[in-house]
């Protein structure tokens, strides 16, 4: 995909009524990302109702358009700054958000946590924060919305900022920004506001523009070996590049054994001998010499991965039958398949409330979330989910059926 077309995926979470839809409407409006005729319509309706532009209404307009199946994609909302495009990922509920992130059906790289300055931290603020902590998302921006409702008070802002920093710190989340805004009036969203002269930080758009894209294609190579074919008397390792790129003649590490190998040739579909291959390509590689290789090993450009037979992870248990201590499981991460068991269930949560159910538990029921220690029969290679998602996401199987999804923070 050309550089300018890629959009940074962000998710906007927060307690109900704290201003998510209003913020989205405001972002789309201020960045001229709405269909042209919508502007007039929004202005007219707002005037008719005799009030200021109600931005949550922008979202309703879009919903209507979506339900008629025109113009707008059903799950993706885009906006643009001079720097780049953004796509707002739908998070219908925190449970869905968690499930989507774990299974890879949506992948937010930035999280915006919105909090009503008048109400402060509420239940869903906490639940969403727990999830962001579990996912290990590093790029977090907190918005203290409705600053107009607390008279643009610096003291109130500082007080809340302190509370939030403490609360998030306990979950290992260090937000890059905590900004005062009024989504409805547009204070500090796209433009700085003279009503908050005491604040010299960035606007929401400026803050978002500082975040980095994951750029998995620029990370060190990760090539999980899927299979080994014999072609023209040569052993060819086939698979899909999950991160980075590789070159003919390059020296790589064969993991988890940590053996150095050299790329003799690279094949792609319909071209036998190419010099380079990159992220997302399915290729075949032959190596110099005759190193012992097998399915499930990973060819890596460096040694930054975690290589261990003990893995701490967060899992989302999907199987109604639940888990009981001693159950044998199969760990699957990219092409790695290793028998394992759950050695310790440190904590488990109810995903609907994100409330702690039990510490040091012995079982996990269907639809529970748990922080666990896995003991594997062999060493596996993994990366933090927030760095290389495909290498930090796994499935647990029981008797051939997937029973849980997990991530390595
Ligand atoms: P959501 O449930 O998080 O999507 O919240 P909404 O965007 O629907 O907002 C809930 C209510 O708060 C609506 O009536 C908005 O008009 C109001 N609201 C949102 N942002 C602001 C703000 O910055 N200031 C004030 N005073 N009201 C706001």
Per residue in 347-391, pLDDT tens? 998 766 667 888 888 999 887 889 999 999 999 999 999 899 999
Closest CA to 335 of 373, 380, 389: 380
What is the whole-number distance in angstroms between the Cα of residue 262 and the centre of ligand 1?
Answer: 58
- Chain-centroid distance, C-alpha 177: 18
* Residues 277/313, Cβ–Cβ less than 8 Å: no
| Residues 151-173, mean pLDDT to the nearest whole number | 94
What is the whole-number distance in angstroms between the Cα of residue 144 and the centre of ligand 1?
Answer: 12
> Residues 45-50: contacts with CB within 8 Å, 24+ apart?
none
Query: Which residues does 260 contact at the CB level (< 8 Å), separation at least 6?
Result: 251, 252, 253, 254
* Three-state DSSP class for residue 85: strand
What is the whole-number distance in angstroms between the Cα of residue 7 and the centre of ligand 1?
Answer: 26
What is the whole-number distance in angstroms between the Cα of residue 189 and the centre of ligand 1?
Answer: 14
For the chain, give the percent of residues with pLDDT over 70. Answer: 86
pLDDT of 409: 85
Question: Given the CA of residue 149, which atom of ligand 1 is nearest to it?
Answer: 26
Q: Is the pLDDT of residue 154 over 80?
A: yes
pLDDT interval class at 29 (50, 70, 90): confident
- Chain-centroid distance, C-alpha 26: 24
Letter string b/e over residues 358-394, b meaning 16 or more CB atoms within 10 A of that residue's CB: eeebebbbebbbbbbebebeebbbbbbbbbbbbbbbb
Of 36-50, 110-124, 153-167, the one with minimum mean pLDDT is 36-50
Enumerate residues lining ligand 1, CB below 6 A: 14, 16-22, 54, 56, 145-146, 148-149, 182-184
The single-letter DSSP state of residue 191 is B
Kindly report the pTM of this predicted structure.
0.82
Cα–Cα distance for residue pair 140/144, rounded to 1 Å: 13
Of 71-80, 118-127, 306-315, 398-407, the one with minimum mean pLDDT is 71-80
Atom 27 of ligand 1 has which residue's CA nearest to it? 146
Per the model's pLDDT, the better-predicted residue between 63 and 70 turns out to be 63
Cα–Cα distance for residue pair 286/366, rounded to 1 Å: 44
Per residue in 41-59, pLDDT tens? 766 666 665 555 666 666 6
Atom 2 of ligand 1 has which residue's CA nearest to it? 17
pLDDT of 149: 97
What is the whole-number distance in angstroms between the Cα of residue 186 and the centre of ligand 1?
Answer: 12
Per residue in 126-138, pLDDT tens? 888 888 888 888 8
Domains and CATH numbers, the chain: 3-210 (3.40.50.300), 217-300 (2.40.30.10), 306-407 (2.40.30.10)
Cα–Cα distance for residue pair 182/246, rounded to 1 Å: 48
Give the mutation target among 24, 54, 56, 91 for probing the ligand 1 site: most ligand atoms within 8 A of CB.
56
* Residues 185/148, Cβ–Cβ less than 8 Å: yes
| Residues 253-263, mean pLDDT to the nearest whole number | 96
Give the mutation target among 17, 23, 59, 179 for probing the ligand 1 site: most ligand atoms within 8 A of CB.
17
* Three-state DSSP class for residue 338: strand
What is the whole-number distance in angstroms between the Cα of residue 20 and the centre of ligand 1?
Answer: 7
* Residues 94/113, Cβ–Cβ less than 8 Å: no
Cα–Cα distance for residue pair 177/54, rounded to 1 Å: 26
Per the model's pLDDT, the better-predicted residue between 35 and 80 turns out to be 80
What Å distances lie between residue 326 and 311, 341, 359, 393, CA to CA?
17, 7, 18, 23
Query: Which residues does 40 contact at the CB level (< 8 Å), separation at least 6?
Result: none
Query: Which residues does 369 contact at the CB level (< 8 Å), separation at least 6?
Result: 98, 134, 314, 315, 316, 317, 348, 349, 350, 351, 354
Q: Is the pLDDT of residue 258 over 80?
A: yes
What is the whole-number distance in angstroms between the Cα of residue 200 and the centre of ligand 1?
Answer: 24
pLDDT of 273: 82
| Residues 246-265, mean pLDDT to the nearest whole number | 96
State which H helix or E strand residue 22 sits in. Answer: helix 20-30
pLDDT of 99: 73
Residue with tokens 């079982």: 363
State which H helix or E strand residue 62 sits in. Answer: helix 56-67
How many other C-beta atoms can be found within 10 angstroms of the C-beta atom of residue 85?
A: 15
């Amino acid at each position: 995909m050309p550089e300018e077309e890629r959009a940074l995926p962000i998710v906007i979470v927060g307690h109900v009524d704290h201003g998510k839809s209003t913020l989205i409407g405001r972002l789309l409006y201020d960045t001229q990302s709405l269909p042209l005729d919508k502007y007039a319509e929004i202005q007219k309706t707002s005037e008719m109702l005799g009030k200021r532009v109600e931005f949550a209404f922008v979202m309703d307009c879009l919903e209507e358009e979506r339900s008629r199946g025109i113009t707008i994609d059903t799950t993706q909302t885009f906006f643009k700054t001079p720097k780049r495009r953004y796509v707002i990922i739908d998070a219908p509920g925190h449970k869905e958000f968690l499930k989507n992130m774990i299974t890879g059906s949506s992948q937010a790289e930035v999280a915006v946590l919105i909090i009503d300055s008048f109400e402060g931290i509420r239940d869903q603020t906490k639940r969403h924060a727990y999830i962001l902590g579990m996912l290990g998302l590093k790029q977090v921006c907190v918005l203290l919305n409705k600053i107009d409702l607390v008279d643009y008070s610096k003291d109130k802002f500082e007080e809340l900022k302190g509370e939030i920093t403490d609360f998030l710190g306990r979950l290992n989340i260090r937000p890059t920004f905590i900004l005062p805004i009024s989504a409805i009036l547009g204070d500090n969203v796209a433009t700085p506001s003279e009503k908050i002269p005491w604040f010299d930080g960035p606007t929401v758009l400026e803050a978002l523009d500082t975040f980095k894209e994951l750029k998995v294609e620029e990370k060190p190579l990760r090539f999980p070996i899927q299979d080994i074919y014999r072609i023209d008397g040569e052993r060819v390792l086939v698979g899909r590049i999950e991160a980075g790129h590789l070159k003919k003649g390059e020296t790589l590490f064969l993991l988890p054994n940590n053996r150095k190998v050299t790329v003799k040739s690279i094949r792609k579909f319909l071209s036998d001998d190419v010099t380079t291959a990159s992220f997302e390509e399915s290729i075949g590689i032959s190596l110099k010499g005759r190193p012992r290789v097998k399915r499930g090993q990973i060819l890596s450009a460096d040694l930054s991965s975690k290589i261990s037979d003990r893995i701490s992870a967060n899992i989302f248990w999907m199987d109604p039958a639940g888990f009981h201590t001693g159950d044998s499981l199969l760990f699957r991460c990219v092409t790695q398949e290793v028998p394992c068991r759950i050695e310790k269930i440190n904590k488990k949560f109810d995903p609907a409330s994100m409330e702690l159910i039990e510490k040091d538990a012995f079982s996990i029921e269907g639809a529970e979330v748990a922080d666990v220690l896995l003991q594997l029969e062999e060493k596996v290679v993994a990366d933090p989910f927030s760095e290389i998602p495909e290498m930090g996401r796994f499935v647990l199987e029981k008797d051939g059926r997937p029973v849980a999804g997990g991530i390595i923070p």
